[in-house]
Structure 1
Amino acid sequence: MTWFLLCVGLLLGGYFIYGTFVEKVFGVKTQRQTPAFTQGDGVDYVPMSKGKVYLIQLLNIAGVGPIFGPILGALYGPAAMLWIVLGCIFAGGVHDYFSGMLSVRNGGQSVPNLAGKYLGRGAKNFMNVFAIVLLLLVGVVFISAPAGLLAKITGVSVSVFIGVIFVYYLLATIVPVDKIIGRLYPFFGALLIFMSVGLTLALVVSSEHSMLPGFEAGDFLQNLNPNDMPLWPALFITIACGAVSGFHATQSPLMARCVENESNGRFVFYGAMIGEGIIALIWCAIALSFFGGVDGLNTGMAGNPANVVYEASTGLLGVVGGFMAVLGVIVLPITSGDTAFRSARLILAEYFNMPQTRLPKRLLLAIPLFVMGAVLTQVDFGVIWRYFGVANQATAVMMLWTAAAYLLRHNKLHWIATVPAMFMTTVVISFLLNSATLGAGLPMTLSTVAGLVITLVVTALLITRIKGRNEGMLADEA
């Protein structure tokens, strides 16, 4: 229990201390009007209160990532909790803050345009394709997971729930942001927080289960995986949401278009990341505690983290409470899946320079996206999840380098973004070089050394290039 509370305390302290420092480095301008007012269109640019925007942002970025990822990561032991804490404070919070605030400063633009502005046209073209692919993968993952859980607790066919969720996604993607998302998601966000706290309290008072049984301080630095899976770099790919996730960079611009003042940015963007980190900690702790350790978790999971969600929820809260908890877990991916498709629509709209105030224009972009998503639902979930994990962290790398480039251009402390960008670049490259299924299948040592060398070269080239470029673009952001 002590270790869990310490981790939560570190996350909260990170918000107030490091989050404030990051905000100071960025330099908010409270008198500057946000895109919600300067570009208000009643569809995507709609001003909303700070609390409402926070809850929507939390739901948008959450999905099943801070649940399934930490459950899978828990197989490595408490080291997963250490990564959640450090990753969330020093990488994920920075990533989310800059993906939101750079969008605020640039008229609510999406991540491909931001990457293009600060990293060059090549980065923009790459991110346009990569972001759409990632968002389609996210949409499919966040259809299949809740449909499977719904089928498990009702006995109704998975295909039926996939169809129902698709119809809902289409509606939520094309209607004005304040009609469904703005009205329902704050309630769902509150439900998510309530259920997370409820499960934690139930575990604490449980007579059958203890919090993190048998684990000591030294276990936070060891790999306890019962399947002998290497911790590096797989853990940092497995746990994305809850530590650092590129998917968030595609979601932050949605709320950047609704933020009423730049001073709300730390609470909305950095704060939502901290909130997601706490949810990830809760599920990591539940996974390690409910089954009595990594061996029990490995057996209870049976290869599917949804089994852990169902068994732990019903076991700790009973049939009714467990149903409500599972319902909360179902809401998470649904409320991220629809905003994934919405983000994809807006990215395409920016690329084709197509205003989205009229419904036919929104349908013209949304329908092809849903057709592609429907095709992808026929692919095995495990395959989709693997590609989603790598694509997700590669997107995080691009967003962190975009933030570093912005800070470099403005002669600000770029290392707050450069260091996590370097770390995640090494993670992704090492993983791809080592992976036999997704990459080159090279030995781990060689993959890691190559990843470090490539990262150092990229860092040196980027810093040299940006420092040597003309800074005439600064006037519009002053």
Structure 2
Amino acid sequence: METLILLAVCFVGYIIAYNTYGRFLARKIFRLDNSREVPSRKINDGIDYVPSKRGIIFGHHYTSIAGTGPIVGPAIGIIWGWLPAVLWIFLGSIFMGAVHDFGSLVISMRNEGRSVSEAAAKYINKRVRFIFFAVVFLTLLILIAVFGVVIASVFTLFPNSVIPVWFQIPIAVLLGKAVYKMGANVNISTAAAVIAMYLMIIAGSYFPIEIPSMMGIPASGVWVILLLIYAWIASTLSVTTLLQPRDYINAWQLFVALTLLIAGAVFSGFTTDFEMSAPMINQNVPETTPAIWPFMFVVIACGAVSGFHSLVASGTSPKQVEKETDSLFVGYGSMLLEGVLALLVIVCVSAGIGMALEVDGQTLTGAAAWNEQYSNYIGSQGLNSKLRPVVLGAANMMGSIGIPAAVGTTLMGVFIASFASTTLDTSVRLQRYVVGELAQDFKISWLKNRWTATSLAVLTAAGLAFANGAGGKGALVLWPLFGSANQLLAALALLVITLYLRTKGGKKFIFALIPCIFMLIITNWAMVLNEIRFAENGNILLVAIGGLVFLLALWVTIEAGIVFARRPAED
């Protein structure tokens, strides 16, 4: 019962936070005003800038920022105990992550939908523009290359997910055509698309697909190539053709999954011993586990705050929001829903795992099951180890409401693969924006169009992916840098938001400055500790790149501090 009480308190807390703190930020701090002309209407090119209903853009924004972050991060972060993880997810998402996402979205909308890098140039100075571009480009480069491998691994782990994930593409295209070209009713079209998607999940359950090696390229490399080709196509099409409708139906997939997990939790709470099997605070973590300070705040990432969100909030989403007041629902609300997903993952990997865990023909329950699963630090292990407790725990919870374990596993596999896929194609489009803006600044006309910019984004990611062999896993070499670099980007985005609010006079900036300072301290602390570890392991490449990112971020922080100390000017 304590698990249900915990979930109820957090869910009610999120509703209260949205209707109090969120609305306070919207009305008093950012002063949302529907009389302002938004980029989607001002530019409206039918490709990237398209006014969209807030429910549809919410779906796109949410599935783009989520990916596997709020799934994998909390599944690792519970190693320090469920209470620290829950507190960071709950409080962090309300006072840091949602402020970060919402602020990035509003600032971009008030600057023609341009990126956080361009906002940095405007509110700090032009020198830092290229520093921001470098950090953003590196972050997206690693993300695109790694997510190709991640999705390939998910397809290998869950071959039942291949058909449903790929068939989402024609379903999404038909949905976009029905709504935007034929004027079909959105609700009816949505229902038809979701039904079709779940029919494909059933089909995938009966027809799992595993691809073989081709021309000396292992299956993982083949998948990476296919996924990058798909991402190139998706990035060059109009957002209403594929990207937006696919993200939208994936959002409905999320709603169904959340409903099933909540129903499973409620039913289990009233019929079984459904309690948190993980310790409240874990005093006996495995030896390889890093210190809770600062690494828990980096590991959980998307469940509380993530720099990648600022790229989506200043990339695809501001070009589609049709009026300013919608940005509260899209920016602030989606981060709170991501917190809900992260909390449910915590429940899956604790109470869900505690319901039953099969080990060598024996069924373990409660603390014994959790200790067996977390006897080692899974953060340093492969994707299978990170996803296994989530999938098993979720299947147990769904099983309590009559869903067979095999079906529950398939549903979670499709869910994870779908979210990773939406993050991949959004990331390629974001990288295309980054390249295009940089080309415009340097007046390189041939690089500004969407085909050449997308080609550069995809080819650089492919180069990194295949740098160490045909398996497409080259980006994994740089992956240890991603966590701290991603959170450092969040701190820098909060820095830009702080300086933007500083131009408005008064003390409004304090609502971004406090989370900014916290994130700067935590992430720089983590980066220094990582640099020491890389040096001890003799990994010169990670030391060099990590050190460069650290120095660039320090440079931006100093420049921002100088600007902050000056008398604020009206925007």
Is 1:346 equivalent to 2:433 in the alignment?
yes
1:385 corresponding residue in structure 2: 479
Q: 1:232 to 1:176 in 2, by over 3 A?
A: same
Shift of 1:464: 5.8
Output the CA distance in 2 between the equivalents of 1:381 and 1:210: 40
Q: Distance in 1 between matches of 2:395 and 2:151?
A: 17
The residue number in structure 2 matching 1:175 is 237
Q: Aligned with 1:107: secondary structure?
A: coil
Say if 2:325 is the partner of 1:263.
yes
Work out whether residues 432 and 440 of structure 1, in 8 Å CA contact, stay in contact via their aligned partners in 2: no
Counterpart secondary structure, 1:347: helix
In structure 2, what is the Cα distance between the partners aligned to 1:382 and 1:300?
21
Gaps of 5+ in 1: 442-454
1:424-474 CA-partner distances (Å, limit 9, x unpaired) = 000011112222335799xxxxxxxxxxxxx999989846633525726x2
For 1:245, the equivalent position in structure 2 comes to 306
User: Residue 411 of structure 1: which of 482, 505, 508 is its match?
Assistant: 505
- Choose from 268, 274, 280 the match for 1:210: 274
User: Quick check: 1:225 aligned with 2:289?
Assistant: no
1:311 aligns with 2:315: no
User: 3-state SS of the aligned residue for 2:374?
Assistant: helix
Q: 1:427 aligns with which of 506, 522, 525?
A: 522
Q: Which of 124, 130, 140 is 1:135 aligned to?
A: 140
Alignment of 1:439-478 (within 5 A): 462=560, 465-469=563-567, 471=569, 474=571
Q: Report whether the alignment pairs 1:189 with 2:243.
A: no
Q: Is the 8 A contact 1:300 1:307 kept in 2?
A: no
Asked whether 1:14 is paired with 2:90, we answer no
Task: Name the CA distance, whole Å, in 2 between partners of 1:348 and 1:273.
Answer: 27
1:234 aligns with 2:234: no
Alignment partner of 2:87 out of 77, 82, 88: 82
What letter matches 1:153 in structure 2? F
- Decide which of 85, 100, 106 is 2:105's aligned counterpart: 100
Bigger Cα Rg: 2
Aligned to 1:452: none
Partner-residue secondary structure (3-state), 1:395: helix
403, 416, 426: which one pairs with 1:329? 416
Alpha-carbon distance in structure 1 between the residues aligned to 2:396 and 2:124: 50
Q: Distance in 2 between the 1:125 and 1:16 partners?
A: 38
Amino acid at match of 2:243: I
Provide the secondary structure at the position in 2 that maps to 1:437.
helix
Q: Which residue of 1 aligns with 2:164?
A: none
Task: Tell me, in whole angstroms, the C-alpha distance in 1 between the residues paired with 2:433 and 2:30.
Answer: 26
Give the Å deviation of 1:252.
Answer: 0.9
Are positions 1:58 and 2:62 aligned together? yes
Q: How does 1:112-131 map to 2 (within 5 A)?
A: 112-131=117-136
Q: Figure out how many residues of one structure are paired with residues of the other and give that number.
A: 456
Question: How many angstroms does 1:341 deviate by?
Answer: 0.9
Q: Deviations over 1:203-249 (max 9, x none)?
A: 4434676241375xxx36x6663445310000011011010100001
Identify unmatched segments of 5+ residues in structure 2: 160-209, 212-218, 355-366, 399-404, 466-471, 538-552
Quick one: structure 1 residues 183 and 379, their matched pair in 2 at CA, closer, same or farther if it must change by over 3 Å? closer
Number of the residue aligned with 1:402? 496
Partner of 1:44: 48
Q: Deviations over 1:384-427 (max 9, x none)?
A: 43211111111101100000001111114111100000000000
Contact 1:95 1:244 in 2 (8 A): yes
Does the residue aligned with 1:179 lie in a helix, a strand or coil?
coil
Per the alignment, do residues 423 and 458 of structure 1 end up closer, same or farther by CA in structure 2, a change over 3 Å counting? farther
> How high is the TM-score relative to the length of structure 1?
0.88
Q: Quick one: distance in 2 between partners of 1:57 and 1:327?
A: 19
Shift of 1:134: 0.7
Q: Which amino acid aligns with 1:132?
A: F
**Which amino acid counterpart does residue 423 of structure 2 have in structure 1?**
S
3-state secondary structure, aligned to 2:411: helix
Q: Deviations over 1:364-391 (max 9, x none)?
A: 1111221221233344675443211111
RMSD: 2.9
Sort the Cα spacing of 1:376 and 1:92 in 2 relative to 1 into closer, same or farther, 3 A: same
The aligned counterpart of 2:464 is: 376
Contact 2:96 2:305 in 1 (8 A): yes
Shift, 1:307, TM fit: 2.1
